[in-house]
Amino acid sequence: MVLQSEMYDITIVGAGPVGLYATYYAGLRDCRTKLIEMYPQVGGRLISMYPEKEVFDVAGHPKIVAADLVRLLTEQAMQYRPAVVLHERVTCLRILGERVIELATDRGMHYTQTAIIAVGSGAFVPRKLDIPHLIDLEGHGIYYWLKSFEALRGKKVLIVGGGNSAVDWALSLEGIAAEVTLAHRTYKFQAHEATVDKLLASGVRVKFPYFTLKAVLGEDHVTGAVIWNERSGKEEEIAVDAIVLSIGMLTNLEPFREWGLNIVGSGIAVAPDMSTNMPGVYAAGDIATYPGKILLITAGSGEAATAVNSAKEYILSGDLGR
């Protein structure tokens, strides 16, 4: 039997920007709210991976540093005094009965009428290249994300990738690093067009298309790299002090599948009201998928509000039925 004091109206799993906004909106809707986050601090990937990176996809902000965005979202979310549980990973979700959901973590149990999954891309590890000596130099000039730009001040940096993170990091490092080179293997960037235009007009040395990393040079620390054109076969050796591999993340969605959630592609399938196939369970942000999905913080915030509204209606429908 679950004690009333243990039961929450809405429990949000994940304290990234979407989870924080869902927490705020749940409070605005007068819901007893709990927020569970696996990291020891809120902010999700924005804080754990790139707190100094500028973010451009948030409504009302021409640009904002990730750490500042998290600070403002946290201030907004804490207005209605939600319960916040940090450094706990949700390992299991079970439906115990009508409007009773059990969330097991590595430290205890939590109970709620509804749950909103807002865990970003889920559990992830950086995608790596099968290049000799690369793993040996991780932490010695090989990076997969940049928590601080200052560590690369005055350095020669090679960035591998063509997505938003790679392009943003290249632009952010201009003026900090002594030299920035970006190598991209396909004929089209995955970053936003306006940002790519800025990159091509900048002082960053851009090597594309068909350029990728072939070899890493250095014994105890990165001293150089060999990039090559996959189409022509031409190789080029460049002197660098650091290499940033921004070629995507590998996600593990199996835990969500084991909970009983319907996984489609790289996310949890949701209906227009952000409901999943499990009663009382909703998803929002990067982890949610549906036709026409856009991976933007602003879009995720709208999904969070929809999920909260749907959860509130679900709770009220039970109250009316009693």
What's the confidence (pLDDT) of residue 146?
84
The pair of three-digit structure tokens given for residue 212, joined into one six-digit string: 């990728």
Backbone dihedral angles phi then psi of residue 96, each to the nearest 5 degrees: -90, -25
Contacts of 149 by beta carbon, 8 Å cutoff, 6+ apart: 52, 172, 173, 176
For 70-75, what is the mean pLDDT? Answer: 97
The dihedrals phi and psi of 208, each to the nearest 5 degrees, come to -165, 160
The top-scoring range by mean pLDDT among 21-35, 48-62, 140-154, 212-226 is 21-35
Contact 13, 19 (CB under 8 A): yes
- Structural domains for the chain: 4-124+249-321 (3.50.50.60), 128-245 (3.50.50.60)
Asked whether 116 and 284 are in contact (CB, 8 A), the reply is yes
Question: Are the beta carbons of 167 and 196 closer than 8 angstroms?
Answer: yes
The per-residue pLDDT for 84 is: 97
- For residue 124, what pLDDT band results from cuts at 50, 70 and 90? low
| Contacts (Cβ under 8 Å, ≥6 apart) of 70 | 17, 20, 42, 43, 46, 47, 51
Instruction: Find the helix or strand (DSSP H, E) in which 10 lies.
Output: strand 7-13
Question: pTM for this structure?
Answer: 0.84
The pLDDT of residue 322 is 45
The mean-pLDDT minimum among 112-116, 173-177, 247-251, 315-319 falls in 247-251
Task: Quickly tell me which residue has 């970003």 as its tokens.
Answer: 120
Calculate mean pLDDT across residues 96-122.
92
Distance CA 43, CA 295 (A): 17
Name the helix (H) or strand (E) containing 211: strand 211-217
Q: Are 286 and 300 in contact (CB under 8 A)?
A: yes
Q: What is the dihedral of CA 236, 239, 243, 246, to 10 degrees?
A: -40
In order, the DSSP letters of 46-109 are: HHHT-TTSEE--STT-S-EEHHHHHHHHHHHHGGG--EEE-S--EEEEEEEETTEEEEEESS-E
